[in-house]
Structure 1
Amino acid sequence: MSDQTEYDYFSPNEGPDHSPDCTQCAEARPELEKIRDFALTQKERFAEPTLHPYVAGKTTLHRSSCSTMEGIARQGVPLSWGERTESEADVFEGQLLGFAHARVLSAYRRNFNVMTAQEAAGWVRARTGPRGGTRFRLCKVCTPGLPADGA
């Protein structure tokens, strides 16, 4: 049976009986590094809306200027307390404990892809059936047009 001890996920490695050499944290580190790298790449792409005008969730296509997508720009952003600001490494380490022990993430989102018009056209094609039926929606907030196939 696993230990049901509650951890303070905002204070890494400070939970009761939690060791800096925790095997659960060590095993989760490579997966979280992949999630972090993907999220930060999406954040970089999001900063260039003319090159990457679309954002796709699991089933919805948005414009990168959509107000519902603003969270992407804040991925991995360090928090500040007065004169102290955490580093990107602190953000990662703070996420690691919650991710390793409870599969909780708050600083990185992995369910959105920031895309070029050509990538978005491919995303739409992959979700359009042979008879024209779609397995996606267009956002009702930003109402994006369908990307041109040859864009």
Structure 2
Amino acid sequence: MPKAKKKVKEVDWTADENFSKERSIIYVEHTTECPIFQIKAEECGVFFQERIPERQFQLVRNKNGKQAPRDGAFEIGISQNARTSVHELWSGLTKGPPRRDKFPNDFEVLVPDVQRVLKKFYPDKAVGISDDEEDHTDY
């Protein structure tokens, strides 16, 4: 008798018991045609958690399995929290072949857009920017 697939517990991040204004959501739609797409999705989630440690990030892949990904898709979006709109950061849908073109060369290129989305809600916090990276123009 074949072993049953382990069901991944789906978490509704918008539900009151799970919701946090401090948790930003990284949405990745990725095809399952090749394992590298899943690996890159995980790397993306880890990157933002390490790059901007003052925020919590939750990676949501293919809408927790509720979305059938499009062929060749590697799309990255972010929302300030689970109850705000999703802003597209990257689309690899029309990129490639080769397959490596579907992904950003370095997730660092997405940081300014993530900061813009986060600042929209918290303009007083320079999220993910160290003091030496901020613009200190004297007038």
TM-score by length of 2: 0.30
Please say which structure displays the higher CA radius of gyration.
Answer: 1
More strand by share: 2
More helix by share: 1
